[in-house]
Structure 1
Amino acid sequence: MSEQNEPTVQNQTSQQAASALQAESEHVTHHTITLDGKEWAYDATVGTITIDTATVKPAASVFFSAFTVVDAQGNPDARRPVTFIFNGGPGSASTFLMMGSVGPKRINIPDAVPEPAAPYDMPENPDTLLPESDLIFVDAPGAGFSQVVEEAKKELWSVDGDVRGFSAFIRAWLSKYHRWNSPKYLLGESYGTTRGAALSFRLQQDGIALNGLTLLSNILDYGFTFDTSDQYYIGYFPTYAAIAKYHGKAGAGVSMDEHLQQARAFANGPLRQALWRGDQLGAAERERVAARYAELTGLDARYVIDSNLRVLDDRFRKQLLRSEDSIVGRYDGRTQGLDMDRISDVETFVVDDNFMEPPYNALGNAYLRDELGWEGRPERKSHAGFEWGATEPGKGWVWWHQLPPRAISSFGDKTPFPKVTPDLATALVRHPRMKVLVCNGFFDLATPFGQTEYDIDHMGIDASLHDNIAFTYYPAGHMVYTNLESYKKFAHDLKHFYAATPEDMPEINERPSQPTADEMR
């Protein structure tokens, strides 16, 4: 009897799930933009695609904003690249990248200072990536205008379920718009780099070889986000030094590049050795290391000693400008603001996040609804509604990650946190023509560039494959595009990247050589 009823129950569940989602739809508007004297016609498509999970069908309605160059007859060119673009979170909408980076329009607000209230300006973007690639901005399930049914949250709100969901969306989009034979790229920011690295391998398993992958503001191994690891403090140190130099607290008389090379050498030499020795470190050596630490970061040497040579990033943000009654931003250390509790070691709010989110949200809604014609019923959400502290699947994010076959791990084939360098390494080994661009802001305290350099150096791949990877750097924070100078460089670097062959990648690479053993003493 139960076997006869089971299909009926499943059908009822599917019908309920479908009714909870907005119907699959699209709305197209037609536009032109003039770039360097040439007029480009493009269609802007806002819509949703429904995806399934292994156990829930349908599971989510994924919202996208696609900008596609068309010819005089209004037809796209299937030979042009397509780039799937997503923010991080996890569980974020694509608002920041869509409004601030490579799209055909770009928000115009002041940089690294409190933003004025509405109205905001959004002119055409002369540095858009549109001549090089059609652009598809994707909202994660449950964020932006994307929706997810309750039964599917425990799958899609997880490291691996999220990657499978994005792969399902990409394959469905390619099918719907007949772009399977187009060159394919990904561009992910922040947790979007975690997703992007894992997705590069997942897509291979699903029959797609990427032409290129752009990783902006990277977090590739969550094992080093825990302050119990010595590498946490080593990875953060060059960013501390960069921010101190910017605010005039360190590095007088030398260039930023020279100052950062000194910081790299110290972090990977004296600091690493001192942290490794732990309680066996002598008092005299501790004082010598603390003095150099203070010299490079602008902190007081006594504060460094009292911190046991282990200064947490939130304490650094509070301490650097304490004498000026200011705190610095987490996403952009150039930003400074006031705090509600001067005595506390931890700032009472994230200053730069509070400055930037209102204008991006306001213009994101206005652009998608008023100009591009989206009429979906739900309110746009900047982030999916899971609980950060929850551990129950479906209520919180599930951080376990399935490693690629043969990856070395003492946990077996799964880790309790995402370490996606094995995914990226496997993708490169299996497809050695894939290009990778690794973009870093000097003043980013959310995803420090020193840790990214370490992660890429420890993928365990053949030296020849490292030539496929190029690093670029920007005098900005986490969202490098919020600074106009940095954005123009970022846009230029992307155009160079899309035009490059894998053999050209060393020409793009800006990463300095590692400090020598003598420099690290």
Structure 2
Amino acid sequence: MADNTNATNTGDKAGTAETAASTAAARPANEQARIAPAAHATRHTMTIDGKEISYIANVGTIPIDTPKVRDASVVFYASFALDPTATGKTDPSRPVTFIFNGGPGSASTFLLMGSLAPKRISVPDAVPVPAAPYTLVDNAYTLLPVSDLVFVDAPGAGFSSILDAAKPELWSVDGDVAGFSAFIRAYLSQERRWNSPKYVLGESYGTTRGAALAYRLQQDGVALNGLTLISNILDYAYTIDTSDQFYIGYFPTFASVAKYHGRAASGAQIADHLQAARAFANGPLRLALAAGASLDDGTKRRVAERYAELTGLDAQYVYDSDLRVVDTRFRKALLRDEDRIVGRYDGRVAGYDLDRLNDTETFVVDDAYLDPAYSSLCNAYLRDELGWSGRDERRGFAALEWNSTEPGKGWVWWHKQPDNTKSSWDASIPFPNVLPDLAAAITHQPTLKVLLGNGIYDLCTPFFQTEYDIDHLGLPKPLRGNVAFTYYPAGHMLYSSEPSLAKFAADLKRFYAADASGLAAIDERPAEPAPDIHL
């Protein structure tokens, strides 16, 4: 644990963080104290770019209601704000950013400890992480100079509690979005931030939540200034391996991981290799998969050979897979001759498996490397340095039964589409596709700006699928520039690589400084050639 000599316990809320009633209900003080442990504030200083800044860290909870259950969840947050007593004034134009992981049902541990907070974990990149003790350092890449930060644990995860009676509502796509909207609005009331610029940053399933939340907040009277989505999954239809698009979306990430491990494109630049992979995936591979059983054997073999050339797999293996290599098999096959597998969350990571011939891994190697370090240091940081003394157990994930479809036990994946989409009025679908929500949010509020961050070695949420999704967002042409792509030489937790984190922080500062009309200067997505369509 890093030295905490620059932190001073201030007991209760400090500065602008004065206690106020949750908007969920006007509760008497004694009832509020019973439901939610008192917030705890500490003052800190750090030096960024040679300049000392003072900030206040708050750890606390806010109770939220659902339509059916009062005090359905007591939601934990860790917030960081510039100390107004150090500057002598409060800046009304200063943004506040709400940050959450995904899951669904995940705590904010990884983003809190690894990304944009004033402190971050320091662990080796893309290699096994030794056991404790771990190191906490001042974060030179914190977003705090630009925005106040609020990290949020999902109901039932981290230090957030949930009542059993509320699980059928909150453990669902739409109930989760409604719950986060309720929390944000309660926080804005509690901290007097209703007139501040507002941003949301979500990762993984947090991008599913974030896209839907941008639209839901508009319905609840809150307009976001900006939305940052990293490691995106916006349409679950293409997470199913019966879809041709599933295989097309993964292909360029297969190619990037193969190059990283020296199995493809020797001597080529990664950008050139990825462009070749994109062109193959969107051209020959797409046509071959669409042909199905009608594809002749000679063409199938040529496609398999080019597939193998770009990904380092054996051409016969690709051919025998009918050109459809699922991600779990790729992770096992790429380095099989070394008795190693590559990570799901970060394809740069390679480890060992107990059953090298099985198509599925015994465990996810990169998660096994990082999770104990992040979880252990998060517990120590929140308790020992920030003074949290509430709930004893910190859960990485809510206690969901992942194979259950029963409301209240498993996650309810149905999602109600926004009004006025091309689907029927008030339609619900049995999996989340939040592209209509994102399109509606941007169309309803044309000043909304969106940044999509993508790790090129992410084998969990492949970047090429996100490109496909945004190409099918359906925005009017004048609004298509409201969305910008950035790319990072890392995996799913793109901030776990320090060079990637440095770039991410710089990109965010440019994003916050720009308006929607200026995102072209940030957008890194390479231009694609127009499709060659002959009629």
Match of 1:133 in 2: 147
Query: Aligned to 1:317, what secondary structure does the other structure show?
Result: helix
Match of 1:57 in 2: 70
1:158-169 aligned within 5 A: 158-169=172-183
Q: Return the match for 1:474 from 479, 488, 504.
A: 488
Partner AA of 2:257 in structure 1: I
Seen in structure 2, the aligned counterparts of structure 1 residues 76 and 381 have a Cα distance that, compared at 3 Å, is farther
Q: CA deviation at 1:410?
A: 6.7
Match of 1:72 in 2: 85
Cα distance between partner residues in 2 of 1:236 and 1:162: 28
Query: Aligned to 2:504, what secondary structure does the other structure show?
Result: helix
1:251-330 aligned within 5 A: 251-330=265-344
Q: CA deviation at 1:515?
A: 3.6
Q: Within the alignment, does 1:123 sit opposite 2:137 as a pair?
A: yes
Q: Return the match for 2:396 from 349, 357, 382.
A: 382
Match of 1:496 in 2: 510
Q: CA deviation at 1:155?
A: 0.2
Cα distance between partner residues in 2 of 1:471 and 1:338: 34
Cα distance between partner residues in 1 of 2:484 and 2:498: 22
Q: Is the 8 A contact 1:402 1:414 kept in 2?
A: yes
Seen in structure 2, the aligned counterparts of structure 1 residues 312 and 235 have a Cα distance that, compared at 3 Å, is same
Q: CA deviation at 1:20?
A: 13
Match of 1:403 in 2: 417
Q: Is the 8 A contact 1:21 1:147 kept in 2?
A: no
- Per-residue CA deviations over 1:314-350 (Å, capped at 9, x if unaligned) read 0000000001110000000000001101111111110
Cα distance between partner residues in 2 of 1:377 and 1:258: 51
Query: Aligned to 1:258, what secondary structure does the other structure show?
Result: helix
1:93-108 aligned within 5 A: 93-108=107-122
Partner AA of 2:434 in structure 1: V
Partner AA of 2:36 in structure 1: A
Cα distance between partner residues in 2 of 1:377 and 1:191: 25
Seen in structure 2, the aligned counterparts of structure 1 residues 21 and 454 have a Cα distance that, compared at 3 Å, is farther
Partner AA of 1:490 in structure 2: F
CA RMSD across the alignment: 1.8
Q: Is the 8 A contact 1:70 1:77 kept in 2?
A: no
Q: Is the 8 A contact 2:37 2:390 kept in 1?
A: no
Q: Return the match for 1:26 from 19, 39, 54.
A: 39
- Per-residue CA deviations over 1:197-220 (Å, capped at 9, x if unaligned) read 000000000001100000000000
Cα distance between partner residues in 1 of 2:391 and 2:89: 30
Query: Aligned to 1:186, what secondary structure does the other structure show?
Result: strand
- Per-residue CA deviations over 1:251-295 (Å, capped at 9, x if unaligned) read 122110010001000001000000001000000010011010000
Partner AA of 1:446 in structure 2: C
Seen in structure 2, the aligned counterparts of structure 1 residues 503 and 356 have a Cα distance that, compared at 3 Å, is same
Seen in structure 2, the aligned counterparts of structure 1 residues 190 and 230 have a Cα distance that, compared at 3 Å, is same
Deviates more, 1:247-256 or 1:99-108: 247-256
Q: Return the match for 1:507 from 521, 524, 528.
A: 521
Partner AA of 2:412 in structure 1: V
Match of 1:145 in 2: 159
Seen in structure 2, the aligned counterparts of structure 1 residues 278 and 468 have a Cα distance that, compared at 3 Å, is same
Q: Identify unmatched segments of 5+ residues in structure 1.
A: 1-13
Cα distance between partner residues in 1 of 2:32 and 2:387: 23
Q: Return the match for 1:46 from 48, 56, 59.
A: 59
Cα distance between partner residues in 1 of 2:97 and 2:531: 41
Q: CA deviation at 1:411?
A: 9.7
Match of 1:461 in 2: 475
Q: CA deviation at 1:355?
A: 0.3
Cα distance between partner residues in 1 of 2:184 and 2:215: 14
Partner AA of 1:69 in structure 2: L
Q: Is the 8 A contact 1:339 1:348 kept in 2?
A: yes
Partner AA of 2:464 in structure 1: G
Q: Is the 8 A contact 1:41 1:70 kept in 2?
A: yes
Cα distance between partner residues in 2 of 1:147 and 1:221: 29
Q: Is the 8 A contact 2:416 2:426 kept in 1?
A: no
Query: Aligned to 1:79, what secondary structure does the other structure show?
Result: coil
Q: CA deviation at 1:465?
A: 1.1
Q: CA deviation at 1:222?
A: 0.2
Q: Within the alignment, does 1:351 sit opposite 2:365 as a pair?
A: yes
Give the TM-score, by structure 1 length: 0.94
Query: Aligned to 1:72, what secondary structure does the other structure show?
Result: helix
Q: Return the match for 1:182 from 196, 200, 209.
A: 196
Q: Identify unmatched segments of 5+ residues in structure 2.
A: 1-26
Cα distance between partner residues in 2 of 1:518 and 1:264: 15
Identical columns (%): 64
Q: CA deviation at 1:514?
A: 1.2
Q: CA deviation at 1:421?
A: 0.4
Match of 2:126 in 1: 112
Aligned length: 505
Q: Is the 8 A contact 1:69 1:77 kept in 2?
A: no
- Per-residue CA deviations over 1:153-203 (Å, capped at 9, x if unaligned) read 000000000000000000000000000000000000000000000000000
Partner AA of 1:42 in structure 2: Y
Query: Aligned to 2:332, what secondary structure does the other structure show?
Result: helix
